[in-house]
Amino acid sequence: MAIIGIDLGTTNSLVCVCQDGQVRLVPNSLGQVLTPSVVNVEANGEICVGAVAKERLVTHPSDTAASFKRYMGTEKVFTLAKRSFTPQELSSFVLRQLKEDAERFLGEEVTEAVISVPAYFNDHQRYATREAGRLAGMQVERLINEPSAAALAASRLSGQEEGSYLVFDLGGGTLDVSVVDYFENVIEIIAVSGDNHLGGNDFDEVIARRYCEAVGIIYEELEEHEKASLLRLSEKCKKELTARKEAVLIFGPEGQAFTFTNMLLAESCQNLFDRISQAIKNVLRDSRRTIDEIDEVVLVGGSSRMPVIFLFLQTFLGKSPCMIGSPDEIVAAGVGTYAGIKERKQEIRDLVLTDSCPFTLGTNVANHSDHARPIMSPIIERNSILPSSKIGYYTNAYDGQSHISIGIYQGESYYCEDNIELGKIEMDILPVRKGEAMIEVRFTYDINGILEVEVTDRYQNKTERAVVTSRNFRLSEQELEQRLKELNTYKLASSGGIRTRLVLARGERLFAQLLGDERREIVEVMQRLEKIMNEQNDQKIANSLREAEAVFDRLEGLEP
């Protein structure tokens, strides 16, 4: 059976396969390779994923979710159509849709996938991604860091035998900045940094807030559907500024207009640029490289297309970034290549991908100034090459201490309470004098993100072991199977008639956004289309759909 590669994005997702030594992006039922990572739940429990769901963000905001990847590995719950879903369950619907698209393309069943994740994803987020794959009915043995995938694709596309890349990956919801080396068929991540809550969506919000400020609207007081509509228009404005010098945003009952330029956008986004520059400084510092030692700055992610991003990077780094292939597709191409390697496709030369630990892993030690706030003691530091196995040596904190509690933490903060607690090992020790106990703590972290911890009391030659999991965020095997059965009762919308669904959803969204004569025109188009649909004449329906799309394009100002 085929192994598919999936780029599970915050804004859009892609699926690819490897055939005859070539990576092929799989089109969805609309013939597009980009599937919006948006989920809509209808009253009858039917699930819509992709373009139709994206249209319903405006008309049915309480039944539709987007950008849920930002909350992977948290306890966030989304309520859609009076039903509750975790971020990984919503992601599983996207993955299931991609799986069905791939099966239709290949003509065979798919049971395994390689999925890309931001290099800056922590342990909870990585586990949640695997869990989403399981809930979609696929085995996910391997996650691949997005910069590794981008470097893999870039090296194949450029034909370079070796090089050093700074991979700048700005997606819809996350920022990854990585230094990656490629040499002798080895791709090695040297350092990673980033921001899991910074992406193109934040630029959309800046545009929306700047518009409100200019026309006297209070952004926080907008209704949920009004915010969704304004953000949709802000995204359109942002995309127009990629190709034009200025773009006009018109919103609200009075149709107030405001003109944006890239210069104004740059000025309005200074806070976001400060966060981007900090991530770049961090990754160069951790890699112990200067920008002059980097061969290429590779742009990845649809949001990296923005001219303000290009100009900022050019100014900040003193080096022009480049696009090797499509920034929307390069990660997917790399994941597809790796899926081919995993399938042992003879046409693809075997490569070694090394991963690094994105966050420091450590344990707690006593804080003699404040016993309530133990201090983080690093064992495996961030950017360590995986797999990694390292030992920390500790002792008892006071005379007669007979018990120790070894906390397992992930993060860079001085105090343990400010890091993520992954687990804990409790152990009884011999009650000896302070400083005489010999406690050895070994952390072993493998390439699949599984952490094993061993705590050994050398006095007793006694060892406690644990494979670290977090009950707060993870389902047991039994719970996972039960939830999989429950989610399978939700049926994905049939691929048949998807174009009709999309046109109707688009019409509903434009009706909600526009006023006056434009609204009346939409009503006429929708009623005409619905009447022809009842006749069940495929040719007439196709003609009516084309006419409706032409009208909607004009109303949105999309005509060439």
Residues whose CB is less than 8 angstroms from the CB of residue 523 and which lie 6 or more positions away in sequence, other chains included:
511
Residue-level pLDDT at 468: 74
Tens-binned pLDDT, residue by residue, of the chain (560 aa): 789 999 999 999 999 998 877 889 999 999 999 999 999 999 888 999 999 999 999 899 999 999 999 899 888 999 999 999 999 999 999 999 999 999 999 999 999 999 999 877 877 888 899 999 999 999 998 898 888 888 888 877 776 778 898 999 998 888 989 998 888 778 888 888 888 889 999 999 999 999 999 999 999 999 988 998 999 999 999 999 998 999 999 987 777 899 999 999 999 999 999 999 999 999 999 999 999 999 999 999 989 999 999 999 999 999 999 988 889 999 999 999 888 887 765 555 566 777 778 889 999 999 988 989 999 999 999 888 888 999 999 999 999 999 999 999 999 999 999 998 988 999 999 999 999 999 999 999 887 677 899 999 998 889 999 887 555 556 667 777 888 888 888 888 877 788 999 999 999 988 988 878 889 999 999 999 988 888 878 888 889 999 999 999 998 875 43
Active site residues: 7, 69, 146, 169
Strand blocks (E) in 351-402? 352-354, 361-365, 375-380, 388-394
- Domain with 535, as residue range(s), is 514-555
Residue 90 has a pLDDT of: 97
- Count CA within 13 A, CB hemisphere, residue 38: 21
130, 113 Cβ separation under 8 angstroms: no
C-alpha to C-alpha distances, 93 to 90, 390, 493, nearest whole angstrom: 5, 39, 11
Has residue 534 been placed in a domain? yes
| β-strand partners of 408 | 423
222: tokens are: 């907008």
| pLDDT the model gives residue 560 | 37
Decide if 207 is inside a domain. no
pLDDT at 346: 53
Beta bridge partners of 1: none
3-state SS of 131-185 is HHHHHCCCEEEEEEEHHHHHHHHHHHHHCCCCEEEEEEEECCCCEEEEEEEEECC
Residue 432 lies in a domain: yes
pTM of the model: 0.82
Which of 421, 446, 471 is the C-terminal boundary of a domain?
446
The dihedrals phi and psi of 158, each to the nearest 5 degrees, come to -80, -20
Total number of domains in the chain? 2
In a domain, 530, yes or no: yes
Give the single-character DSSP code of 384.
P
Domain of 426, CATH number, reads: 2.60.34.10
At 327, list the tokens: 């920034």
User: What pLDDT was estimated at residue 39?
Assistant: 97
For tokens 């094993």, what's the residue? 452
What is the model's pLDDT at position 344?
67
In a domain, residue 192? The reply is no
Q: How many CA atoms lie within 13 A of 6 on its CB side?
A: 38
Distance between CA atoms of 158 and 492, rounded to whole angstroms?
39
CA distances (Å), origin 326, targets 34, 143, 305, 353: 12, 22, 10, 22
The three-point CA angle 99-105-108 to 5° equals 70
Domain boundary among 388, 415, 446: 446
**DSSP character at residue 45:** S
Could you tell me which of 294, 299, 273, 295 has the C-alpha nearest to residue 283? 294
Which residue among 431, 446, 461 closes a domain? 446
pLDDT value for 471: 52
Residue 269 domain-assigned (yes or no): no
Report pLDDT for 525: 93
Asked, for residue 380, whether it belongs to a domain, the answer is yes
**Which DSSP string do the residues of 201-251 spell out, in sequence order?**
HHHHHHHHHHHHHHHT--GGGS-HHHHHHHHHHHHHHHHHHHHSSEEEEEE
Question: Looking at residue 559, what is its pLDDT?
Answer: 45
Task: Round to whole Å and give the CA distance between 229 and 78.
Answer: 20
In a domain, 283, yes or no: no
